[in-house]
Amino acid sequence: MLVQNILNGISLGSVYALIAVGFALIFNVLKFSNFSQGGVMTVTAYAGYVASRYLSDRLDSLVLFAAVLAAAAVSGAVIAAAVERLAFRRLRRTKSEPVYYFISSITMGILLENLITIYASSNFYSYPRFFATSAVPLFGVNVAVTDMMMFALSIAALLALLFILHRTKIGLGIRAACFDVNTVQLMGMNPDFLVTTALMISGALGGVSGVFLGMNYTLYPQLGQMVVKGFVASVLGGLGSIHGAVIGAVLLGILEIFFISWVGAGWAPVFVFIVMLAFLLVRPRGIAGIIVQEKA
């Protein structure tokens, strides 16, 4: 039971990690919590579903699954780029404070969710089953294949992100933009391009997590509100820290699964809240321990 819970928690946490890392990335570049990610996740979950309906005759199991994920990731990136153009570009031109980005992004999230509500008219859909076997034995417990897939693919996506950030020129640019967007411009890089790329990366990660959430639960327009899990994890992880966000997300996943098995799904949020509060009091700088200086 213990092992089972830990494994389930890690797999849930790895999905949260995809959302949390997107938050951390954008927080680094633009210094605000990007809640439009929720709307992006809703849209991509539906995009993945549409793709699975079209492709299910032609492809099967693993290939189909990969195609659906790819479709969701691409649509996530495209929508995130559109969000940047519509909701953030002008604010950046006028050098507005981060709070306005925050407001703009929440509104954008609600807008995307509503567009999906209009499209899907609040109906519930569910993804087809991608795999013939539903569970395999591991460490003496049965692990769902989807859980394993979610874990493995989340890790792969996170590694890909680290590779882009630390081994490519674009990644170098994004990391430079995290320090100071204006200096980046002086160095001859295009800040619009860097910000858009960062948002597209976080959108693609959100797209993958959208499909996973849609598979885990059913598809409904409010699915994107799960974005708060990513927000919680990224703040607990230490604002803006990618590694901290991953650790925070996995811990959050494990905590949730444990509380669900001990006190039931209904009471779990109450206990998660208490643990969160206690944690912040003990370690107010978050897991990564970067002390972000308030302006002095």
Partner 1 sequence: MDYFVSTVIFTGIALIGVLGVYLITGLTGLFSLGQAAFMAIGGYVSAVLIRNYNVPVVPAVALAIVAAMLAALLVGLPTVRLRRDYISLVTLGFGEAIVALLNNSANITGGAMGISGIPQLTTLPVVLVSVVVCLALVILYKNSKYGRQCLALRSDELAAKSMGIDVYRLKLITFLFAGALTGYSGVLFGFYTTYLEPAAFNWIISAEWTIIVFVGGVNSLTGTVLATILLTWLPEFLRFASEWRVAIYCVIVLLIVNYRTAGIMGERELSPKTLRRLLGRTKEAPR
- Interacting residues toward partner 1 by CB under 8 A: 33, 35, 86-87, 90-91, 94, 96, 99-100, 102-104, 106-108, 110-111, 114-115, 117-118, 121, 225, 228, 231-232, 235-236, 239, 264, 266-270, 272-274, 276-277, 280-281, 284, 292, 294-296
42 within 8 A of 221, measured Cβ to Cβ? yes
Nearest CA to 111 out of 78, 86, 93, 81 is that of 86
Q: Please, which residue, 207 or 237, has the CB nearer to partner 1?
A: 237
Would you say 130 or 259 has its CB closer to partner 1? Answer: 259
Output the six-digit token pair for 108: 């954008």
Least separation in angstroms between residue 242's CB and partner 1 is: 17
Smallest gap, in angstroms, from Cβ of residue 290 to partner 1? 12
Distance CA 52, CA 58 (A): 10
Q: From the DSSP assignment, how many helices (H) and strands (E) are in the chain?
A: 12, 2
Query: What is d(CA 289, CA 4) in angstroms, rounded to the nearest whole number?
Result: 30
| Least distance to partner 1, CB of residue 128, Å | 28
Minimum distance between the CB of residue 287 and partner 1, rounded to whole angstroms? 13
Nearer CB in complex with partner 1: 57/294 = 294
Least Å distance, CB 232 to partner 1, is 6
Nearer to partner 1, 85 or 166 (CB): 85
Q: Determine the Cα–Cα distance for residues 76 and 79; give it in Å rounded to an integer.
A: 5
Tokens found for residue 163: 């590779």
Give whichever of 146 and 196 is closer to partner 1, judged by the CB atom.
Answer: 196
Distances (CA, A) of 244 to 21, 82, 153, 204, 268: 9, 28, 19, 20, 23
CB 21 within 8 A of CB 205: yes
Min dist CB 224 to partner 1, Å, is 11
Looking at the DSSP assignment, which residues form a beta bridge with residue 125?
219
The residue among 127 and 220 lying less far from partner 1, judged by its C-beta, is 220
